[in-house]
Structure 1
Amino acid sequence: MTNHLKSLNSSEKKYSYKIMDQQMEISLYSSDISAVHRKKFDLISELVKDLFKHRNKQVCVKSISNLIISTLISSDENSPLDIYNIDEELEEEMNEECRNILERELFRLSNDLPN
């Protein structure tokens, strides 16, 4: 692997860790729903800005997109993906499916990281 690719992977991992730290910080506000939504909005806004900034780098686009999705479905039971869903049964199925996807992606990401 070239030094440029190693540097890119290292930068991407640092960025991912930074965002995951922010996601964990948001979960600390779980008793204040409006604070959670405000912090999620701020984080997603930052991610979207970064997504457009790095739109020509496919690896970055994929990573940032995954971080946006994980931010949307993390932290509380009424995440923005669920708020407009009327059918409770469908909502439960979506929650379970999204959590399974998130768990798989986080597991895959953690396996890719150095020990």
Structure 2
Amino acid sequence: MLRKRPVCVTHCWKVTRKNLGMTVICDDNMMIEGIFTDGDLRRVFDMGVDVRQLSIADVMTPGGIRVRPGILAVEALNLMQSHHITSVMVADGDHLLGVLHMHDLLRAGVVLKIQG
């Protein structure tokens, strides 16, 4: 999780170091402003611009998919699968509490519920 900063390069490193596939952009009160994903990172490089000249606000995805505290793990996993994402923010409204990653849930033995 990163506070909103003018330099995009910091966010690029954060996405790759944590292996979450994303980082959350928050204000000083941990209120969610958006996310910066590995897909956003690829699009930045495809633009062929100097990332040091970009603000994260230029390339982040506002908002983002989140779950509330206390959600059942299987519900979070199904949400990730239905949206084709591997991480989801845990938030109380717009206040960030954490991030869940699909691999952590699978390692813990959570099994996808088959719809149908």
* TM-score, normalised relative to structure 1: 0.27
Normalized per residue, the structure richer in strand is 2
* TM-score, normalised relative to structure 2: 0.27
Normalized per residue, the structure richer in helix is 1
